[in-house]
Amino acid sequence: MLYRRLVAVAMLGVLPSLMPSLLPAQAATRSPQPLLVTIDWLAGHLRDPRVVVIHAASNRAEYDAGHVPGARFVAFNAYAISQDGLSSQMAPVAQLDSLLEGVGVNDGDHVVIYGQPLSVARLLVTMDYLGLKGSVSVLDGGVDAWREGGKTLSRESGTAARGTFTPHVDASIIVDAPWVSANSSRRGIALLDARAPEFYLGYSPGQMPRAGHIPNARNVPFSSLTGELTQLREQPKLSRLFAAAGVMPGDTVVTYCHIGMQASLLYFAARRAGFDARIYDGSFEEWSKQSDLPVVNESQKKP
């Protein structure tokens, strides 16, 4: 009996050290939420206390004009900031933590986001960065599909008690210029430019210091990713777009654009097509400012 008690006491000291290794394995067995949900699915889960619906847009006017009942508004500038001369950069983790708790997000919740496509895609990147991949879904077609489907719109502000959210940052979601420079030619890495062809090819610099694209990058314009009602194209269509750009099964897709917004939509599409995705947050805005970094200008090549 005394021996059994001693063993039990000893195990109490051992268990805490074992728990960190056990908990991730247990969490990993939970089924991830789908990347996309339909309007019918959401309509059937609006009263679920563990489903948090977020309307993402650049300003509140669109939200006030009519939104999914109970949806909480999140402004774009609350999760994307300008810093160090660059636009639309990832906000500090403390700011993002406070933002999500402020709209009632708790650990373990299923978050459904919709709104302006680029704002939604950027919020998805942000959620993935905070460690929420597998807990966040996008409403396919957004409020347009909701309206077209005959669902009720609300003009009442969605409110909720402050949540308790714990970030688990996945820093690998964001890559920087040195990473791109070192890895863009590596086998298994597909660097994709989400800008329109005129910018990718170098016929127009836009508002960038130099025109052209990052070496080894291939072009998948963000405008090719959506169809009617801003719905992301079906997975087979997206897979064909990526294949046409030379992306191979199993590749890691790294996206960029002017300032990271169009790249966010391409990141979303890459995830939809089943690829492991990353985003170069500084994008061509950062790359083109650094004269020591090479730029390919197709428009200047001789026929």
User: Rounded to an integer, what distance in angstroms lies between the CA atom of residue 191 and that of residue 277?
Assistant: 10
The H or E element containing residue 99 is helix 93-102
How far from the centroid of its chain's Cα atoms is residue 284's Cα?
18
Q: Pick from 90, 113, 54, 99: which is nearest to 170 by CA? A: 90
Residue pLDDT, tens place only, 223-263: 999 987 668 899 999 999 999 999 999 999 999 999 999 99
Structure token digits, residue 58: 């650049």
What would the pLDDT profile of 53-73 be if each residue is shown by its tens digit? Answer: 999 999 899 999 999 999 999
pLDDT by residue (tens digit) across 71-97? 999 999 999 999 989 999 999 999 999
pTM: 0.88
**286: three-class secondary structure by DSSP:** helix
pLDDT at 21 over 80: no
List of long-range contacts for 29-35, beta carbons under 8 Å, 24+ apart: 32/133, 32/134, 32/135, 33/110, 33/134, 33/135, 33/136, 33/137, 34/137, 35/137, 35/138, 35/271, 35/272
pLDDT at 227: 81
CA proximity to 101, closest of 121, 74, 68, 125: 74
Among the listed ranges 18-22, 43-47, 286-290, which one has the minimum average pLDDT value?
18-22
Taking only Cα atoms into account, the Rg of the chain, rounded to an integer number of angstroms, comes to 22
Place of tokens 């709209």: 103
